[in-house]
Structure formats: C-alpha cells, structure tokens
C-alpha cells in the first residue's frame, strides 16, 4: 500500500467485516443499492444464513475484525437481538469499532440499549436533510423532529461516536436551504458527518425524472459551503465526503480507503483480500439458496494486478487528508496546479476545488 493510510489507530493489520442487511420499509427515489421492501418474511432465515457464512469464513482462517459495519438497506429494521447474534458470530479485537446504520424513524431507546449491550459502539444515522421539502424530494419518510429525537437517544444511550449522513443537490433545494440544513445538523453537534452529492443511478425513479436531476455547479457551491461550515464547527475533512472531530474518523471506511482486507457477509456484499475482490450474489433469495445448499454465495470476482493496485492506491489516497507523496504524481511538484493541489512538506493534497474534480484528476493520472 504505497500511498495508503497506515493501519488506523495503531491496529496491526486491520481487518474489516461488512454485513449487508437488504431490507427497507421504503425504497428512496435515488437508491440503487441491493435492497428490497417485500422480503421481510426472509429476515430470520437471512440472518441465520449470515451467521452460517461467517462461521465458514472463520473456520477457513478469517482473522479477528478490527471493525464491523452493518449496512443496507436498513439494519435497524430487523430485530436487534437477532442482529446482535450475527455480531456475536464475528471474532473481533478488543477495541473493534462496530457500526450500525439506522433510519431515524426506527431509533428507540430499547433498540439502542440492545446494540450497546451487544457490542455496538458507533451509530450512523441516514438523515439526508433537515428540511421537509428536501426530504420529500428525495423520497425519504422521516422528518427533522425524528432526527433530533434520534440524536438525543443515541447520546442518552452512551454512544460517544456517531455519524450523520447528508445528501445535497436534491431538486428544489436552494443554496440557502442547504445552509439551513447544515446549520440544523451542526446544532446537534455530531462528531462525524458525511455529505454526498446526489447522483443519478440507472433504474431509479430519480433517473427516470430529468426535471429532478442535480446541477453540477449547484453541487459544487454546496460542497464548498459545507466544507467551510464544518471546518468552522471543528470537523476536519479527512476524506472528500467525510468530516470528523479528531479521533472520530470512521475506522472501517479508512480500511477501505487504504486497500485493506475485508470480508463481506450477505447478499451483494463485497470482499477483498490481497488484490483479489469478490462479491456475493445480489438477491437475498438466491443467497439463501446457496448458503442452505452448502455452497459458496460468491457471484463473481476479479484479480487486480500490481499496476492496477498501485493506481487505485494513488486514487484513494488523493481523496484523503494526508494526500500522496509529491514524487508519486507523474507531473512532479513544479507542475502541480496551485488551484487544485497544495503541497505540505513532501505531500501533495487536493484543495477544495481539487476535491470537486478528484475523479477527473484520477482519470488523467491513470492515462498519463
């Protein structure tokens, strides 16, 4: 990992486990993830299958996890005791970070108490906006009052670290709307915040409605506004779309961005080990059939050669706060455009304008 982030927080050879929970009460208009609203009858069997897949991986030598992430879908929709039984099946280091994604609508004191007792120490709330009009534009079901209630419950349950997810660029959302949404979230003082530009994914209701497609210039203005507001609030940008107070960075995501090894559990979950990537079959029904039959749930794989891994490491590191060694860039220090890069010692980091065109920069680096 020539450009990657060192093992987070001093954990030697970090290893992550991602568990995909594909159940949702309602599918958001922009969502293209492997989620279903009509498969709740599979929940018990699905979680059993996840435990079986974990058991097989452990028997095959899977190391202890330094981070576990339950994503979806909406993990907080399934019975918390059943979810914690899945967590129990995962061998973990003593200081492992364990995150569960939650919809604010589903958060209760009892749910959080079960998570805390089961070993969860980080919550990620899918907020997206603090304005009713923007939430409706995105197809979300919760309201801002539920967010405030959920954050209060998370704190009362003793979670010192939690994340709030936001999306910017929804149809009808003005720059002032975005500022008001940010201000409302920052009033809740989250230690970590993720802000993602709304993207168009094929096959979604949003993709089929051009009148609701986001504007690139508008999103650029909103990103710059977010970065300034979050910095003023004491949250530092440590990856293009992620800001945190020192010590509250997401260790699991740092593992991804440093090309670490991780195991994906459940339908559509992805895994990586030493340059080999593979992914499970997409639907929960097919996943269940394969696990029950004693077979592998793997649906496909790819092997990354050394050159591909090197470029991916460069691309990922560019997105991070620490950037990359100047001599890792083919253009060299003298040619780095100052509007896109800043050099600190022997490191090159993206400026805010540079972050906005990070994908284009990565393409140029790959073809240079």
CATH at residue 154 = 3.20.20.70
Tell me the residue length of the chain: 368
Residue 264 resides in a domain: no
Q: Are residues 327 and 247 in the same domain?
A: no
Characterize the bridge pairing of strands 92-102 and 65-72.
Answer: parallel
Can you name the residues that pair with 126 across neighbouring β-strands?
165
Q: Are residues 216 and 350 in the same domain?
A: no
Q: Are residues 92 and 241 in the same domain?
A: yes
Q: Are residues 19 and 135 in the same domain?
A: yes
Q: Which residues contact 172 (CB under 8 A, 6 or more apart)?
A: 133, 134, 137
Compute φ and ψ for 4, nearest 5 degrees. -75, 170
Number of domains in the chain: 2
Angle at Cα 179 formed by Cα 173 and Cα 185, nearest 5°? 105
Compute φ and ψ for 288, nearest 5 degrees. -60, -45
Upstream peptide bond of 73 is cis (omega within 30 degrees of 0): yes
Q: Are residues 337 and 203 in the same domain?
A: no
Per-residue confidence (pLDDT) for residue 335, from 0 to 100: 60
Low-confidence ranges of the chain (pLDDT < 50): 1-11, 333
User: Among 202, 226, 256, which residue terminates a domain?
Assistant: 256
What's the domain range around 184? 8-256
Q: Are residues 133 and 214 in the same domain?
A: yes
Would you say 161 and 99 are in contact if contact means Cβ atoms under 8 Å apart?
no
Q: Are residues 353 and 218 in the same domain?
A: no
Characterize the bridge pairing of strands 242-244 and 236-239.
Answer: antiparallel
Q: 348-354 long-range CB contacts below 8 Å, 24 or more apart?
A: 348/323, 348/324, 349/321, 349/322, 349/323, 350/240, 350/318, 350/319, 350/323, 352/223, 352/224, 352/227
pTM comes to 0.93
Per-residue confidence (pLDDT) for residue 337, from 0 to 100: 83
User: Among 256, 281, 308, which residue terminates a domain?
Assistant: 256
- Reduce the DSSP state of residue 56 to 3 states and report it: helix
Per-residue confidence (pLDDT) for residue 175, from 0 to 100: 97
Q: Are residues 62 and 174 in the same domain?
A: yes
Residue 314 resides in a domain: no
Characterize the bridge pairing of strands 298-303 and 324-325.
Answer: unpaired
Residue 273 resides in a domain: no
Residue 139 resides in a domain: yes
Query: Can you point out the beta strands (E) in 198-253?
Result: 236-239, 242-244
User: Among 205, 230, 256, which residue terminates a domain?
Assistant: 256
Residue 222 resides in a domain: yes
Q: pLDDT by residue (tens digit) across 246-277?
A: 999 999 999 999 999 999 999 999 999 999 99
What is the C-alpha to C-alpha distance for residues 77 and 105, in angstroms, rounded to an integer?
A: 10
Per-residue confidence (pLDDT) for residue 158, from 0 to 100: 97
Q: Are residues 156 and 235 in the same domain?
A: yes
Residue 156 resides in a domain: yes
Q: How far is CA 233 from the centre of its chain?
A: 22
């Amino acid at each position: 990992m020539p450009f990657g982030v060192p093992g987070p927080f001093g954990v030697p050879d970090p290893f992550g486990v991602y568990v995909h929970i594909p159940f949702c009460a309602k599918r958001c208009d922009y969502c293209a993830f492997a989620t279903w609203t009509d498969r709740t009858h599979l929940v018990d069997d699905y979680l059993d299958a996840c435990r079986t897949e974990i058991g097989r991986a452990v028997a095959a030598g899977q190391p202890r996890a330094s981070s576990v992430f339950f994503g979806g879908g909406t993990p907080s929709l399934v019975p918390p005791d059943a979810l914690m039984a899945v967590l129990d099946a995962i061998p973990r280091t003593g200081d492992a970070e364990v995150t569960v994604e939650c919809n604010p609508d589903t958060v209760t004191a009892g749910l959080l108490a079960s998570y805390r007792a089961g070993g969860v120490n980080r919550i990620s709330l899918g907020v997206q906006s603090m304005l009713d009009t923007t939430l409706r534009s995105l197809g979300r079901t919760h309201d801002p009052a539920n967010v405030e209630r959920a954050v209060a419950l998370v704190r009362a349950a003793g979670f010192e670290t939690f994340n709030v997810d936001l999306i910017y660029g929804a149809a009808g959302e003005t720059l002032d709307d975005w500022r008001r949404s940010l201000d409302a979230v920052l009033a809740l003082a989250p230690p970590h915040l993720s802000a993602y530009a709304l993207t168009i994914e094929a096959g979604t209701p949003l993709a089929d409605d051009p009148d609701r497609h986001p504007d690139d210039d508008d999103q650029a203005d909103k990103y710059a506004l977010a970065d300034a507001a979050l910095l003023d609030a004491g949250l530092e940008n440590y990856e293009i779309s992620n800001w945190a107070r020192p010590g509250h960075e997401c260790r699991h995501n740092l593992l991804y961005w440093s090309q670490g090894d991780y195991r994906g559990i459940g339908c559509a979950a992805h895994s990586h080990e030493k340059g080999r990537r593979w992914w499970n079959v997409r639907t929960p029904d097919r996943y269940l059939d394969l696990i029950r039959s004693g077979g592998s749930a793997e649906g496909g794989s790819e092997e990354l050669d050394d050159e591909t891994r090197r470029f991916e490491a460069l691309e990922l590191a560019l997105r991070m706060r620490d950037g990359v060694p100047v001599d890792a860039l083919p253009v060299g220090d003298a040619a780095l455009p100052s509007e896109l890069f800043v050099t600190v010692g022997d490191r090159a980091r993206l400026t805010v304008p540079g972050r906005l065109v990070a994908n284009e920069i990565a393409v140029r680096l790959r073809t240079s």
